[in-house]
A and B are shown apart, each in its own frame.
Chain A
């Protein structure tokens, strides 16, 4: 199929090639669970989900702070909790030797996790 389907574009096609390439770029090791990597494969899966929840909690917290409905004391406690959560995640990532990119799965219609 040699037809060119691009009807209109501005600027260089480099950007587009890269971005669409990213969308179609599946990291095999991310999805393939073999006996050898089952442990770290499972860790990746679990940490990805934990990171998803952490990010959602953080977002919700920021909405509340922005909304002005929290007291100073509550904001303090929130800050402490969120900070510790993030530090804990960093520890776990380091322990399992995972980067942010490893944990970034594509959620289909929801876009990328990060």
Chain B
């Protein structure tokens, strides 16, 4: 007898008309073509499908199918997207989970109500930028010509000097990235956006940001990014979205 469990795709709040949700759910399929249905504790509703954990092939096409369900639902509802692999044993377990975590769920649903997420990544050539920063700082500190010969320094001191120079360069780069982020935050605050940033993710990706915004403000956001591009010609901006608010529901439920 196969052990059927339940895969949870998203949690949303059912305002009134559950008929609308039912008709949406009949129109889409979950992983492995499974039917989707809902499990509700009062208005708080989990969207689920039956899944056999051992049969589940963990591949990218299943992950994409899973995300597709979330995407379709997000067109109609503010929801909390679940991470791929959210599996519970039974509808009873899900009900208990919804009840136990009700306040946390409600809090997060309120946070993302009528909002969508956008991804902003900023690229630059770190080496080139470092070069420019060196030029700028060297121009500021004009060095007097050496009158006396350089004193002999130990190999250890030379090691430290080399490391120190690299360290200072990193700090300059980081300071520059911080100022770019400050500029971006400043403008996005005007759109009432919530932003989260990761800095220096790789040698070329200096900023990896996610933005939570009213879904009606998509066009003003695009316009603002265009402005940033003009303001920072040496940087490359990439804006993606709108996405369901994956990055803004950082909560763990048991």
A touches B in complex, CB < 8 A: yes
| Chain B residues in 8 Å Cβ range of A66 | 164, 167-168
A19 within 8 A of B: yes
Is A83 a contact of B238 with CB atoms below 8 Å?
A: no
If A66-B164, A66-B167 touch, whether A9 touches B201 (CB-CB below 8 Å) is no
Interface stretch of the complex, out of B49-57, B187-195, B239-247: B239-247
Task: Please tell me which one of the listed residues A11, A22, A58, A109 contacts residue B163 in the complex, with CB atoms under 8 A apart.
Answer: A58
Q: Closest chain B residue to A6 by CB distance?
A: B240
| Chain A 68-88 per-residue mask, 1 if CB under 8 angstroms from chain B, else 0 | 000000011111101100000
Asked if B159 and A111 sit within 8 Å, CB to CB, the answer is no
B5-13, B89-97, B105-113, B222-230 - the one binding chain A: B222-230
Question: B82 to chain A: closest CB distance in Å?
Answer: 17
Contact A75 B157 (CB under 8 A): yes
Which A residues touch B243, using CB under 8 A?
5
User: Taking CB as reference atom, which chain B residue is nearest A8?
Assistant: B239
Tell me whether A9 and B238 are in contact (CB under 8 A). yes
Give the interface size class of chain A. Answer: 20 to 34
In contact, B198 and A83 (Cβ under 8 angstroms)? no
Contacts A19-B202, A111-B200 given; does A8 touch B222 at CB 8 Å: yes
Please count the residue pairs between chain A and chain B whose beta carbons lie under 8 angstroms apart in the complex: 92
- Whole-angstrom distance from the CB of A48 to the nearest CB of chain B? 18
- A16 beta carbon closer than 8 Å to chain B: yes
Contact A83 to B159, CB < 8 A, known contacts A19-B204, A111-B198, A111-B201: yes
CB neighbours (8 Å) of A112 from chain B are: 201-202
Say which residue of B67, B156, B237, B239 sits within 8 Å of A1 (CB atoms).
Answer: B67
Q: Judging by beta carbons under 8 Å apart, are B68 and A59 in contact?
A: no
User: Please, how many angstroms separate the alpha-carbon atoms of A29 and B157 in the complex?
Assistant: 39
Asked if residues A82 and B241 are in contact (CB atoms below 8 Å), the reply is no
The answer to the question of A23 belonging to the interface, with a C-beta cut-off of 8 Å to chain B, is yes
Task: Flag whether B123 is at the interface (Cβ < 8 A).
Answer: yes
The CA-CA distance from A80 to B163 in the complex, in Å, is 12
Indicate if the CB atoms of A76 and B154 lie closer than 8 Å.
Answer: yes
The distance from the CB of A49 to the nearest CB of chain B, in whole angstroms, is 21
- Cβ contact of A62, chosen from B157, B163, B202, B241, cutoff 8 A: B163
A10 at the interface (CB under 8 A from B): yes
**Chain A min CB distance to B75 (Å):** 11
Q: Which of B155, B156, B168, B241 contacts A5 (CB 8 A)?
A: B241
**How far, in angstroms, from A23 to B208 measured CA to CA in the complex?**
11
Closest chain-B Cβ to A59's Cβ sits at a distance in Å of 7
Chain B residues whose CB sits within 8 angstroms of the CB of A58 once the complex forms: 163
Determine whether B160 belongs to the interface, using a CB cutoff of 8 Å to chain A.
yes
**Inside 8 A of A80's CB, which chain B residues have their CB?**
156
Report yes or no: A6 in contact with B154, Cβ–Cβ below 8 A: no
Q: List 8 A-B contacts (CB under 8 A).
A: A5-B240, A5-B241, A9-B236, A10-B229, A15-B204, A79-B155, A79-B160, A83-B155
Pairs A-B, 7 closest by C-beta atoms:
A79-B156, A62-B167, A79-B160, A8-B239, A9-B238, A7-B239, A10-B236
